[in-house]
Structure 1
């Protein structure tokens, strides 16, 4: 059995029989979900948002990070604060992790939502992996500050013209990430082969892509549906990059709530 990390710091909001667990990406923490939490609670759902190990006020484990151990830790969170129906919504790194959380707790996860991510980095070429790491980690290893290094990368992840308080919140929270944690997380993502867990998904799955996303490219997310999980629902948000929950907040949540009401709570 995979050993979990320290029990994660988290926020619980709302009171309902259906809980949405929000798993953030490699840049950021639960704090960039502030508006998402408010919208889901007002829609009648309960929400749990965590700080993954090393993020926010959760300490970085001394032996680094792995997707498998983070998924088991998220499973422990579901054990403790889950409800009758539990939905795991993973964004970016959280989306890589979400199928592993379902595999870790198959009797307690009733649906999965994957936002803006890849099926598995095991499917990428060695050259793609090398470039992904070099762009994000090499400048930090050369002594440059995270804020100086990450700013341009984060800005490039939004769609042209994306702006407003939700976008600014994501940007500022993302820039607050610890460089040590970030390096550990990016290495964990590249090292993880998640295809088996993705192909094994039997619960309802929603895939949400941004048309301008250069990381969780829409064609790659669509391929998850066509090649690996044919029962999945898929939606592409036309004016979004990597952070559709902030860039097209209303449309993102229209797709999300329609999925929850139509395929999850009705089924439960």
Structure 2
């Protein structure tokens, strides 16, 4: 029997006419944005954070995942919950998805923030692609548990010395990811060429990299700016790895909130 489609779960926090949509990565769910949501709401913003299909309590579609479909589904979330000004902040896989959301609803997305990703897997070298898959998927296909497989990989994604309750939260939420969903997400990421969508972004954009990130490497994100999105701002956050919003929370949000005020809200 075919299961009826159910829209992914999401959380709405705060109020106002400027909404930030948070898209999490392939590890985790909206729950690791708990502190980020609180900071944005305290800054006077409205926040919508989803559990992408297959994450949290959201069911995994029977035919798997694709970045294009994630983009369209997130665009439908903007149709449901959007306000006068909508900003999409995508982290990691969410950062790959964010330009696809804009491509689906260019009239409803007024700013993009791309965190800790190259934006398109086609930007990665062949060696990086093989390492990416070998570290993440091959042990699961060999029958190892997700927590045993993912723990060392997740730890390696933080900068040396990163610690504290925000880091602990990210790690625990990331380790709770469903293995089938994770494999579907990694496959979707490696099959997606996001360069056309990146080139077509016409709204203000901010690229945020962590100094020690081995996934969304700073040099890779900088190349997205120089080669694909010359109008975008770029910032590298010192002493941060893949999860700068948790590792260097204040610095991350100094960049983010200034961008929202000066590059998005000031133009509305």
Task: Specify every segment of 5 or more residues in structure 1 that has no aligned partner in the other structure, as ranges.
Answer: none
Give matches, 1:30-45, under 5 Å.
30-45=30-45
**Contact residue 123 and residue 220 of structure 2 kept, 8 A:** no
Match for residue 83 of structure 1?
83
**Contact residue 53 and residue 60 of structure 2 kept, 8 A:** yes
Match for residue 60 of structure 1?
60
Match for residue 113 of structure 2?
113
The normalised TM-score by structure 1 is: 0.97
1:95 matched to 2:95? The reply is yes
**Contact residue 6 and residue 73 of structure 1 kept, 8 A:** no
How far residue 160 of structure 1 moved from its aligned partner, in angstroms, is 0.2
What secondary structure is seen at the aligned counterpart in 2 of 1:90? strand
How far residue 7 of structure 1 moved from its aligned partner, in angstroms, is 1.7
1:148 matched to 2:148? The reply is yes
Q: State the Cα deviation string for residues 133-191 of structure 1 (Å, max 9, x = none).
A: 11100000111000000000000000000000000000000000000000000000000
How far residue 237 of structure 1 moved from its aligned partner, in angstroms, is 0.5
Q: State the Cα deviation string for residues 181-204 of structure 1 (Å, max 9, x = none).
A: 000000000000100000101100
How far residue 260 of structure 1 moved from its aligned partner, in angstroms, is 0.3
Aligned length: 264
- Partners of 1:121 and 1:234 in 2: how far apart? 19
Match for residue 8 of structure 2?
8
- Partners of 2:241 and 2:214 in 1: how far apart? 7
**Contact residue 13 and residue 47 of structure 2 kept, 8 A:** yes
1:70 matched to 2:82? The reply is no
How far residue 125 of structure 1 moved from its aligned partner, in angstroms, is 3.7
What secondary structure is seen at the aligned counterpart in 2 of 1:266? helix
Which stretches of structure 1, 4 residues or longer, exceed 6 Å deviation after superposition?
A: none
- Partners of 1:162 and 1:127 in 2: how far apart? 27
Match for residue 104 of structure 2?
104
**Contact residue 119 and residue 220 of structure 1 kept, 8 A:** no
Match for residue 202 of structure 1?
202
How far residue 127 of structure 1 moved from its aligned partner, in angstroms, is 3.9
Q: State the Cα deviation string for residues 33-52 of structure 1 (Å, max 9, x = none).
A: 00000000000000000000
Match for residue 122 of structure 1?
122
How far residue 131 of structure 1 moved from its aligned partner, in angstroms, is 2.3
- Partners of 1:207 and 1:66 in 2: how far apart? 23
Q: State the Cα deviation string for residues 27-74 of structure 1 (Å, max 9, x = none).
A: 000000000000000000000000000000000111110000011000
Match for residue 212 of structure 2?
212
1:226 matched to 2:226? The reply is yes
Pairwise CA RMSD: 0.9
Match for residue 248 of structure 2?
248
